[in-house]
Structure 1
Amino acid sequence: MDRIRTGLAAYGMSGRVFHAPFISVNPHFELTAITERSKELSRGKYPDACIVRSFDALIGLEGLDLVVINTPDGTHYEYARRALEAGKHVIVEKPFTTTVAEAEELVALAASRGLTLSVYQNRRWDGDFLTVKEILSKGLLGHLVEFESTFPRYRNFVRPDTWKETGKDGGGLTYNLGAHVIDQAVQLFGMPEAVFADIATLRKDGKVDDYFIIHLLRPSKAPEVRITLKSSYLMCANEPRFVLHGREGSYVKYGLDPQEAALTEGLLPGTPHWGEEDKSFWGLLHTERDGKVVREPYPSLPGDYAAFYDNIYQHIRCGKPLQSDAREVVGVIRLIEAAWESSRMQRVVRI
């Protein structure tokens, strides 16, 4: 079997939780190398993977097919460029880059070398998002008029030991979680004509943004839908993850996809009932059917992050379409840049 020999650029939370488990259980991949600058935390779980001490050593490995750039945000552009120049296929963690110019340069470089460049927008395979897509495809709410997506977090203190909160190598909530909720909205409704946003730092002594509310105006696929995207580190009482209102009904969903929690606990993808959500977390569908009011839980579809790597294999080895193609994710970075401009200028910014 022609397995894809894969290397991880880091073995922090992203490598341990979101990448190594899926690569290791997928028979089409080989977890060949893991970058750990001084430790050997991966040795116990992945004894067959060699540990390298630098990114240069990783991309210099002969026979390595694919490199996963799961390093701090501010390094994504440089590391992805160097990996592509070394002739490797590349997966970049979200956010793809910090600027549109960087993103477009990487896309052009990958195309010129005939290499795959994908962005790890894994939350396209969240169970709640897949359920939203199903509800919309079935027209259960009638003509949709309003879409709200909120990613709640609660940490009312600033962690000084992580780049995500110091701003040293990127970080901040808009690039971190905004990259997910914006991508999901664009998947559903297309790119908007304009953006209106408020981005702020609300926690005491905060150094990066920890709050945003972003309105995407007149999306290409559904110009009449009002889109609101929100996240904050000060949501002690959770808001709904999704709220959808149509002319014939509503859908309200609380709670987060269970895959991250399962992975953090050490469960492996493919275990029985993987990605399934407890019925107590199913969203509420409120509509009419055959002239009668329906107000009942709507079954959540199972989440499936493994589908991301399945598609990477199908694309690289079988030529199938790439589902999280960096070319389309450039639009997400464009919207994040526009949201920041909108917040600074306190005005609507056209795309």
Structure 2
Amino acid sequence: MRAGMVGMGMIFDETYRPFFETVHQRKLYDPAFGVIDVPLVAVATRTGSRAKKYQDSAAGKVSPFQNFSGTDSLAKLLKEPVDFVCVATPDDRHFEAAKAVLNAGKHLLIEKPSVLDLQQLDELVKLASQNNVLAKVVYHKLLDPDHKKLRTLVHDRVLQHVNNGYCSLLEP
């Protein structure tokens, strides 16, 4: 499954980067399908600077990928052989990017909140159905280091009988 990425900000660094690097190094295994590779094929960003910086630092950690920037970067990405596209732009840009992905017949993974109103959501659901592709909201905390540590503590029974919790997200 070949991936495209729209946006390379904090969410990319915290969630997608570790995923793509881990999968590149270790692959995924599914009993029904065997070993699965999920290469990052192309990225689309406004300026391309973060993507270029990542390309330079990620040699050997991920497969080489195309870096598209500018106002037509998403259109260029969608011409690449990607099976799905992850949209991790600022929230107010999710809808237009998601629409383009679905209209191109690509599967969509979109960060929360997926869109800003229910009419947009209805339109994306309709487009996914019309194009016979999936549109899903990403559960980005799956690979978050703090959440992984918490799950390990619960699994190892270090934490038992947790009745309540509180957390707060502090942006850097």
TM-score, with length taken from structure 1: 0.36
Matches of 1:91 and 1:153 in 2, distance apart?
A: 22
1:92 is aligned to: 110
Uncovered stretches (5+) of structure 2, i.e. residues with no partner: 28-36
CA deviation vs aligned residue, 1:279-336 (integer Å, no higher than 9, x gap): xxxxxxxxxxxxxxxxxxxxxxxxxxxxxxxxxxxxxxxxxxxxxxxxxxxxxxxxxx
Equivalent residue letter for 1:60: K
1:32 is aligned to: 41
Do the aligned residues in 2 keep the contact of 1:65 with 1:88 (CA within 8 Å)? yes
Q: Is the partner of 2:54 in helix, strand or coil?
A: coil
Larger Rg: 1 or 2? 1
Q: 1:74 to 1:132 in 2, by over 3 A?
A: farther
1:49 is aligned to: 65
Uncovered stretches (5+) of structure 1, i.e. residues with no partner: 142-146, 160-351
Q: Is the partner of 1:41 in helix, strand or coil?
A: helix
1:114 pairs with 2:114:
no
Measured after TM superposition, the shift of residue 149 of structure 1 is 4.9
Do the aligned residues in 2 keep the contact of 1:124 with 1:130 (CA within 8 Å)? no
Measured after TM superposition, the shift of residue 122 of structure 1 is 2.5
Measured after TM superposition, the shift of residue 98 of structure 1 is 1.1
Measured after TM superposition, the shift of residue 18 of structure 1 is 1.1
Equivalent residue letter for 2:66: C
Matches of 2:169 and 2:4 in 1, distance apart?
A: 31
Measured after TM superposition, the shift of residue 148 of structure 1 is 5.1
Q: Is the partner of 1:150 in helix, strand or coil?
A: coil
Measured after TM superposition, the shift of residue 52 of structure 1 is 1.0
2:6 is aligned to: 9
Measured after TM superposition, the shift of residue 51 of structure 1 is 0.9
CA deviation vs aligned residue, 1:161-220 (integer Å, no higher than 9, x gap): xxxxxxxxxxxxxxxxxxxxxxxxxxxxxxxxxxxxxxxxxxxxxxxxxxxxxxxxxxxx
1:150 is aligned to: 166
Out of 78, 86, 91, the position equivalent to 1:59 is 78
2:33 is aligned to: none
Do the aligned residues in 1 keep the contact of 2:48 with 2:67 (CA within 8 Å)? no
Out of 99, 104, 127, the position equivalent to 2:122 is 104
Equivalent residue letter for 1:34: V
Do the aligned residues in 1 keep the contact of 2:48 with 2:68 (CA within 8 Å)? no
Matches of 1:154 and 1:88 in 2, distance apart?
A: 33
Equivalent residue letter for 2:55: R
Over the matched positions of the two proteins, sequence identity in percent amounts to 23
Matches of 1:19 and 1:153 in 2, distance apart?
A: 18
Q: 1:25 to 1:101 in 2, by over 3 A?
A: same
Q: Aligned runs of 1:312-323 on 2, under 5 Å?
A: none
Q: 1:154 to 1:25 in 2, by over 3 A?
A: closer
Measured after TM superposition, the shift of residue 11 of structure 1 is 1.6
CA deviation vs aligned residue, 1:139-169 (integer Å, no higher than 9, x gap): x68xxxxx755332568xxx9xxxxxxxxxx
CA RMSD of aligned residues (A): 2.9
Q: Is the partner of 2:43 in helix, strand or coil?
A: strand
Measured after TM superposition, the shift of residue 129 of structure 1 is 6.5
CA deviation vs aligned residue, 1:203-240 (integer Å, no higher than 9, x gap): xxxxxxxxxxxxxxxxxxxxxxxxxxxxxxxxxxxxxx
Matches of 1:112 and 1:148 in 2, distance apart?
A: 43
Q: 1:6 to 1:124 in 2, by over 3 A?
A: closer
Q: 1:55 to 1:149 in 2, by over 3 A?
A: farther
Q: 1:124 to 1:25 in 2, by over 3 A?
A: closer
Q: 1:46 to 1:31 in 2, by over 3 A?
A: farther
Measured after TM superposition, the shift of residue 50 of structure 1 is 1.4
1:20 pairs with 2:17:
yes
Q: 1:132 to 1:99 in 2, by over 3 A?
A: farther
Q: 1:23 to 1:11 in 2, by over 3 A?
A: same
